[in-house]
């Protein structure tokens, strides 16, 4: 390697190393120049003293601008006062490219401006910290499923049938075959795969033409979905609880620096322990009405309802067995109360709300046909899905966790757009 990374500098105390990166900040006291360089793994202060470097190199300082790309060479010195504990006494510098008028200056900018410049804004400390946490959350997810012997099944993005709800479909012409839809979920395909593998998961982008302008909705988001043969709705909740605790413990261990940068109060995350409270939909409505919500039995919890409800608990809370009318067609009807389905949403605390939607699935051929017809969905598009109920149908359950909703909660963000590198929302397709 012809260069080193800032995260490794402690291994090179007293030695000469070369860093390649971008100029984060600079200042000068005439005979001493200070350069803060970042390379993606950290930020280090370089000190350049007149007389200790070639005069030509010392003079290059005057050309430097914020975000110019440079290569610096110097000796690593321990220094308590330096941000990372080390600084570089520079002996050489090369300019790779001079940046002209970088638009994101140290002064505050509005969020529209920042997201219009997302391609550059990614370099700033806050998005850097958030996306590092996102990276760790995704590693935790994959690690959990790998350790628990779930098999990764990649589900298609182009699909021929409604996965969740007809109202938020992205439609496209599919060659000469007619319409295709961008996947709203991979679930239906996972249900096919459980009969081969038992426990499976998928992880991919999902698409919903959400026309609402909220802090919680993207039109393209990443969902991790699990499906388990022979699990009922309770087993499914137990699994989600275990899974979420694994993720929280993972980030608490790996993301301390990022949480510090984000000023995230991690004491709220440290309270996430088993068991999570579980309340029925009936009880949720009762509690909400008492708290002043206008919700009527039968309608879905709105964003504000979720906020009110989750502030009643310090841990994530399951709300189970919703009315059939507010949930998707594939959920298993309650055996004793025909108006309900066996399902659960997991709502994150501190007002964040739904991060997981899950349910036991309808495994009965005739009753599923009825539900598909009731929802006015085209029966022939579900022929393959219905066949799964003919050849060794078993009780089964599964769930989907929205990655950006989870990142938003774990990082303590106020808007979901910060939780994904390039957000797609009702008004945003650029950059």
Residues in contact with ligand 4AD by the rule CB under 6 A: 164, 185, 187, 208, 210, 217-218, 221, 223, 225, 354-359, 398-400, 402, 404-405
Residue 67: name its binding partner from ligand 4AD, Mg ion, none (Cβ under 5 to 8 Å by kind): none
Number of helices and strands in the chain (H, E): 13, 16
Q: Rounded CA gap, 408 and 405, in Å?
A: 5
Q: Answer yes or no whether residue 357 interacts with Mg ion by CB under 5 A.
A: yes
Which C-beta is closer to ligand 4AD: that of 76 or that of 202? 202
Residue 356: name its binding partner from Mg ion, ligand 4AD, none (Cβ under 5 to 8 Å by kind): ligand 4AD
Residue 208: name its binding partner from Mg ion, ligand 4AD, none (Cβ under 5 to 8 Å by kind): ligand 4AD
Residue 185: name its binding partner from Mg ion, ligand 4AD, none (Cβ under 5 to 8 Å by kind): ligand 4AD
Residues 73-92 that bind Mg ion (CB under 5 A): none
Tell the smallest beta-carbon distance from residue 298 to Mg ion (Å). Answer: 17
Tell the smallest beta-carbon distance from residue 68 to ligand 4AD (Å). Answer: 37
Instruction: Using alpha carbons, select from 122, 121, 215 the residue that is nearest to residue 408.
Output: 215
Cα-based angle 411, 413, 416 (whole degrees, multiple of 5):
110
Tell the smallest beta-carbon distance from residue 371 to Mg ion (Å). Answer: 17
Tell the smallest beta-carbon distance from residue 408 to ligand 4AD (Å). Answer: 9
Residue 46: name its binding partner from Mg ion, ligand 4AD, none (Cβ under 5 to 8 Å by kind): none
Site for Mg ion (CB under 5 A): how many residues?
A: 1
Query: Do residues 204 and 222 make contact, with C-beta atoms less than 8 angstroms apart?
Result: yes
Which C-beta is closer to ligand 4AD: that of 121 or that of 409? 409
Q: Which pair of tokens denotes residue 119?
A: 């391609």
Backbone dihedral angles phi then psi of residue 407, each to the nearest 5 degrees: -65, -40
Tell the smallest beta-carbon distance from residue 203 to Mg ion (Å). Answer: 17
In this chain, which residue has its C-beta nearest to Mg ion? Answer: 357
Instruction: Using alpha carbons, select from 202, 189, 198 the residue that is nearest to residue 163.
Output: 189
Instruction: Using alpha carbons, select from 397, 357, 387, 344 the residue that is nearest to residue 230.
Output: 397
Which C-beta is closer to Mg ion: that of 208 or that of 264? 208
Which C-beta is closer to ligand 4AD: that of 21 or that of 357? 357
Q: Which stretch binds Mg ion (CB under 5 A): 60-68, 315-323, 350-358, 412-420?
A: 350-358
Which strands, in side-by-side order, build the sheet including 171-173? Answer: 158-159, 179-182, 171-173
Which C-beta is closer to ligand 4AD: that of 84 or that of 303? 303
Inter-CA distances, 203 with 166, 228, 264, 275, 344, Å: 22, 15, 27, 26, 20
DSSP letters spanning 204-217: EEEE-------SS-
Residue 53 CA to chain centroid, in angstroms? 46
**Residue whose pair of structure tokens reads 């067609």 in the numeric block:** 329
Query: Do residues 288 and 281 make contact, with C-beta atoms less than 8 angstroms apart?
Result: no
Residue 372: name its binding partner from ligand 4AD, Mg ion, none (Cβ under 5 to 8 Å by kind): none
For 131-264, list the strands marked E by DSSP. Answer: 151-152, 158-159, 171-173, 179-182, 199-207, 220-229
Tell the smallest beta-carbon distance from residue 216 to Mg ion (Å). Answer: 11
Residue 425: name its binding partner from ligand 4AD, Mg ion, none (Cβ under 5 to 8 Å by kind): none
Which C-beta is closer to ligand 4AD: that of 223 or that of 413? 223
Query: Do residues 321 and 343 make contact, with C-beta atoms less than 8 angstroms apart?
Result: yes
Which C-beta is closer to Mg ion: that of 21 or that of 357? 357
Tell the smallest beta-carbon distance from residue 173 to ligand 4AD (Å). Answer: 24
CB contact set of 393 (below 8 Å; sequence gap of 6+): 363, 364, 365
Which C-beta is closer to ligand 4AD: that of 67 or that of 225? 225
Q: Rounded CA gap, 347 and 334, in Å?
A: 21
Which C-beta is closer to ligand 4AD: that of 82 or that of 426? 426
User: What is the binding site for Mg ion (CB under 5 A)?
Assistant: 357
């Amino acid at each position: 390697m012809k260069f080193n990374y800032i995260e490794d500098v402690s291994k090179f105390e007293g030695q000469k190393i070369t860093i390649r990166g971008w100029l984060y900040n600079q200042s000068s006291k005439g005979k001493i120049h200070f350069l803060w360089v970042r390379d993606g793994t950290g930020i280090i202060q370089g000190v350049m003293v007149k007389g200790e470097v070639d005069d030509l190199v010392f003079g290059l300082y005057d050309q430097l601008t914020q975000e110019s790309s440079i290569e610096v060479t110097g000796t690593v010195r321990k220094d308590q006062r330096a941000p990372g504990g080390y600084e570089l006494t520079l002996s050489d510098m090369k300019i790779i490219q001079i940046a002209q008028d970088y638009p994101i200056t140290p002064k505050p900018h509005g969020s529209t401006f920042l997201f219009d410049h997302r391609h550059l804004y990614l370099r700033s400390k806050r998005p850097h910290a958030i996306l590092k946490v996102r990276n760790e959350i995704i590693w935790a997810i994959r690690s959990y499923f790998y350790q628990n012997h779930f098999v990764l099944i990649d589900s298609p993005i182009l699909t021929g049938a409604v996965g969740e709800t007809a109202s938020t479909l992205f439609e496209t012409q599919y060659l000469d075959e007619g319409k295709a839809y961008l996947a709203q979920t991979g679930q239906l395909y996972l249900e096919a795969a459980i009969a081969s593998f038992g426990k499976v998961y998928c992880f991919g982008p999902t698409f919903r033409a959400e026309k609402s302008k909220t802090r919680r909705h993207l039109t393209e988001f990443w969902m991790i979905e699990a499906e388990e043969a022979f699990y009922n709705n309770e087993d499914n909740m137990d699994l989600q609880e275990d899974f979420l605790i694994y993720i929280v413990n993972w980030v608490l261990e790996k993301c301390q620096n990022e949480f510090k940068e984000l000023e995230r109060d991690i004491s709220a995350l440290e309270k996430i322990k088993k068991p999570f409270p579980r309340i029925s939909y009936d009880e949720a409505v009762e509690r909400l009405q008492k708290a002043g919500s206008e919700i009527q039995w039968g309608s879905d919890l709105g964003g504000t309802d979720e906020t009110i409800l989750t502030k009643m608990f310090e841990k994530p809370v399951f709300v189970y067995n919703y009315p059939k009318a507010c949930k998707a067609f594939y959920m298993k009807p309650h055996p004793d109360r025909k108006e309900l389905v066996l399902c659960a949403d997991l709502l994150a605390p501190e007002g964040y709300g739904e991060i997981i939607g899950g349910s036991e699935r309808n495994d009965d051929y005739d009753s599923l046909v009825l539900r598909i017809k009731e929802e006015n969905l085209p029966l022939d598009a579900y022929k393959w899905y219905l066949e799964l109920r003919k050849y060794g149908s078993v009780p089964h359950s599964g769930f989907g966790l929205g990655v950006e909703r989870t990142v938003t909660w774990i990082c303590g963000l106020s808007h979901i757009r910060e939780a994904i590198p390039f957000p797609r929302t009702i008004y945003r397709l650029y950059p």
